[in-house]
Structure 1
Amino acid sequence: MSYQLDNGEVVRHEGKFFAMIVCWLLGNGCLFSWNSMLTIEDYYVYLFPKYHPTRVLTLVYQPFALGSIAILAYREAKINTRVRNLTGYTLFFLASLALIILDVATSGRGGIGVFVGVCIVSGAFGVADAHVQGGMVGDLSLMCPEFIQSFLAGLAASGALTSALRLITKAAFENSQDGLRKGAMMFFSISSFFELLCVLLYALIFPKLPIVKYYRSKAASEGSMTVAADLAAGGIQRSQDGAEEDPKLPERLTNKQLFLENIDYAIDVFLIYILTLSIFPGFLSEDTGSHSLGSWYALVLIAMYNVWDLIGRYIPLIERLKLTSRKCLTVVTLSRFLLIPAFYFTAKYGDQGWMIMLTSILGLSNGYLTVCILTAAPKGYKGPEQNALGNLLVMCLLAGIFSGVTLDWLWLIGKGW
């Protein structure tokens, strides 16, 4: 089985910059809807004051994301990547649209029924995230590291963009009647439009880029079974060599072997996100006290986290600043746990300036370490193994997030919730 491209290596570099832009947009779409839900937490706190929405919605989201990615990672070698990613982006679009319909149908009222509906949508976001994030990271692991970096930067940019939009909508609607609701509806309208854009980008533009066709063709020649539909969408047909296609999967390292060879990367990713999500967004939204910024305080903290997370994901582009040593990555990852006592004592005794600084460090280190690990780990493997390893690392990432949002409830001990 083989694929043929004209001009060989010349095609490889054609359109690389444009492909990076598309990867950035697709990364943005992977979390734009979910970050929109997180960023309007003040609206949901207003609607559901007794249900801890910033914590509950995240806790609902994660089991669906983790369960879905576990199944998808186990079967990744036989899954049509194109169908998987399009399913994820379409589900993001439909779930975002459902939030608007739910709010309009209930005229912006709260109550347990509406909250359950919002939780169902949160679970749908989790399923969509597992499809897209694991599918895209696995797919881009077949290609050059710059594509993964752009996709991961897009993930962080979704948080920064939604935070900026939330600050703008809060300022615009703060003094208007029903201002919180108007801001929230604007958010989900933008989110729905952007997710639809991502569906079209992935379906019609991305598979036809020459550099993408090159890498997918290369992966297919190495035995990848997941790229056939994307290659067909890109206009590349299998060559007819008269031989029967072997339905068996090609020889490659098993998922267990890949995991054991990269267990330090897997543990590092898990620890990065268990720490981050034990603090962000629940602790920052509910447990940092009252300060002079008033109702703007939690929004500013979330915005600072997202902005510095985005900055951190671009630092590895400077080769001299990129951390590649596996031991150093583990040491730096473990050192981040010093932030837990730092946040605790700052929330208890410090002022808002110190809290903003710590939140910035949390975001910067999260973004930087994520890119360093996910761009370094797939090197040295063939296409099918790179795809599998990308899925495994995303599964560890989501497991860390799930553990983090669960541990986040420990901050409430002794507060009479």
Structure 2
Amino acid sequence: MLELPDINVESNMGRAPSKFEITPNNECWFVYSIYFLLGIGFLLPWNAFITAIDYFDQQYPSYHTDRVFSVFYMLPNLCSLLLLVKLVAQHVLPYTRVMGGFLLFLCALLSVPVAHALEESGHLSKPGSFALICFGCLLNGVADGMVQGSLFGEAAQLPVAVMQELCQAAT
């Protein structure tokens, strides 16, 4: 099992280590593992949309799906992050923001099979199913702004190693 190195207080010019430099007693890397999994969790839904671009190009050949998905993801992501910083962060608990974001991720990912099923059954046209998938990308962007903003804000209050795990998972 890997262990974090002990902090050498002498190398810090005789000063006591700050709360960010002290590594907590963390048997089995539990906290680090949780933040690593959370980082994978907020990266995975967008990767699911963007790596299936060949499928979407085949299903919707007249649309530029990679460009459309990027716009439907990035703009809501930025807007939700700005709203989170300016308005929501003071009134909604981080747990609620993270759980709400992951529920939105679930809805975003379910938009693809639901759109496909509705199109196959004749209840939705091809442009309608593409619009539903674009709405899923929009939900994905909103959720990503909520979850990333909340998780990075929470991890910033913990020791540096926790932030490192979150960043490693998000790359």
8 Å CA contact retained: 2:115, 2:130: no
For 1:110 and 1:149, how far apart are their aligned partners in 2?
Answer: 45
Q: Give the AA of the match of 1:52.
A: H
Deviation at residue 34 of structure 1 after TM alignment: 1.1
Rg larger for:
1
The residue number in structure 2 matching 1:117 is: 132
What CA distance in whole angstroms lies between the structure 1 residues aligned with 2:139 and 2:36?
A: 23
- Percent sequence identity is 26
Deviations 1:72-96 (A, max 9, x none): 1113234311111110011111221
Indicate conservation of the 8 Å contact 2:111/2:132, yes or no. Answer: no
Please give the secondary structure, in 1, of the residue aligned with 2:120.
Answer: coil
Q: Could you say which residue in structure 2 is the equivalent of 1:54?
A: 66
1:134 equivalent in structure 2: 149
Partner of 1:77: 90
Decide which of 19, 23, 31 is 1:19's aligned counterpart. 31
Secondary structure of 1:32's aligned partner: helix
In 2, Cα distance between the equivalents of 1:100 and 1:50? 20
Q: 1:15 to 1:91 in 2, by over 3 A?
A: farther
From 152, 160, 167, the counterpart of 2:167: 152
User: Residue 39 of structure 1 aligns to which amino acid in structure 2?
Assistant: T
Query: 2 CA distance for matches of 1:143 and 1:117?
Result: 39
The 1-side partners of 2:128 and 2:60 are apart by 11
Does residue 86 of the first structure (1) align with residue 99 of the second (2)? yes
Pairing 1:98–2:98 present: no
Shift, 1:107, TM fit: 2.4
Question: Which structure is higher in RCO with an 8 Å CA cutoff and minimum separation 6?
Answer: 2
Q: Displacement, 1:16?
A: 6.7
Preserved contact between residue 76 and residue 141 of structure 2 (Cα < 8 Å) = yes
- State how far apart, in whole Å, the 2-side matches of 1:85 and 1:111 are: 33
Q: Distance in 1 between matches of 2:70 and 2:107?
A: 19
Cα distance in 1 for residues equivalent to 2:111 and 2:55: 17
- Taking the aligned partners of 1:116 and 1:98, their CA distance within structure 2 comes to 10
* Counterpart amino acid of residue 127 in structure 1: V
Gaps of 5+ in 1: 1-10, 157-417
- Equivalents in 2 of 1:47, 1:16: separation in Å? 46
Q: Which runs of 5+ in 2 are unaligned?
A: 1-22
Task: Give 1:40 deviation, angstroms.
Answer: 0.6
TM-score, normalising length: structure 1:
0.33
4+ runs deviating over 4 angstroms: none
Secondary structure at 1:12's aligned position in 2?
A: coil
Where do 1:85-234 residues align within 5 Å? Answer: 85-107=98-120, 111-156=126-171
The 3-state SS of whatever aligns with 1:49 is coil
Between the aligned partners of 1:142 and 1:124, the Cα distance in structure 2 is 28
1:44 maps to amino acid: F
Aligned to 1:65: 77
Separation of aligned partners in 2, 1:83 and 1:93:
15
Aligned to 1:38: 50
Matched residue type, 1:58: S
1:119 and 1:98 mapped to 2: Cα distance?
9
Give the counterpart letter for 1:77 in structure 2: Q
Matched length:
146
SS in 2 for 1:106: helix
What does 1:271-350 align with in structure 2 at a 5 Å threshold? none
| Distance (Å, rounded) in 2 between the aligned partners of 1:28 and 1:21 | 11
Tell me how large the CA RMSD over aligned residues is. Answer: 2.0
> How far 1:100 moved relative to its partner?
1.5
Contact 1:48–1:110 (CA<8 Å) still a contact in 2? no
**SS of residue in 1 equivalent to 2:63:** coil
